[in-house]
C-alpha cells in the first residue's frame, strides 16, 4: 500500500486554508486578485506560498492592513490545530513575522 507524501498533504492543507480564508473575507474577487498578484510578481500559485510564505508579504503590500490582519487571523484559526506539525508551525511563525513587517 502506498502512503501519500506527507509534505504534499501539508501543502494541500495550507493551500486550502489560504483559499478558504481569502474567500471568507473577500469572496472570489479577492481570491482572483491574490492569484493574479502571485503570478505577476512571483510566477507562482497559491500552493507555492507553503514553501514561500514571504510571497504573502508581497501580496499584503497591495492590500490594506485591515484585510491582511483579518486574513492572517482566519488563517491562523484554520491551521492552529495542525501547528504541532513542524512545517505548518514554521509556516505560521513566518506568516506572523510578515504580519509584523507589513503592519
Query: What structural domains does the chain harbor?
Result: 6-102 (1.10.1200)
Specify the pLDDT at position 38.
Answer: 94
Backbone Cα Rg of the chain? 13
Average pLDDT, integer, range 44-62: 89
Asked whether the whole model's pTM tops 0.85, one would answer: yes
Mean pLDDT of the residues in the chain: 88
Whether 79 contacts 44, CB under 8 Å: no
Average pLDDT, integer, range 8-34: 94
DSSP letters spanning 22-67: HHHHHHHHHHHHHHHHHHHHHS--GGGGGT-THHHHHHHTTS-HHH
Amino acid at each position: 500500500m502506498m502512503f501519500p507524501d506527507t509534505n504534499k498533504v501539508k501543502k494541500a492543507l495550507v493551500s486550502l486554508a489560504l483559499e478558504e480564508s481569502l474567500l471568507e473575507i473577500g469572496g472570489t474577487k479577492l481570491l482572483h486578485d491574490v492569484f493574479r498578484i502571485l503570478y505577476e510578481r512571483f510566477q507562482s500559485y497559491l500552493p507555492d506560498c507553503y514553501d514561500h510564505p514571504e510571497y504573502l508579504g508581497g501580496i499584503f503590500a497591495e492590500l490594506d492592513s485591515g484585510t491582511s490582519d483579518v486574513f492572517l487571523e482566519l488563517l491562523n484559526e484554520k491551521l492552529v490545530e495542525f501547528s504541532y506539525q513542524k512545517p505548518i508551525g514554521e509556516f505560521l511563525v513566518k506568516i506572523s513575522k510578515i504580519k509584523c513587517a507589513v503592519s
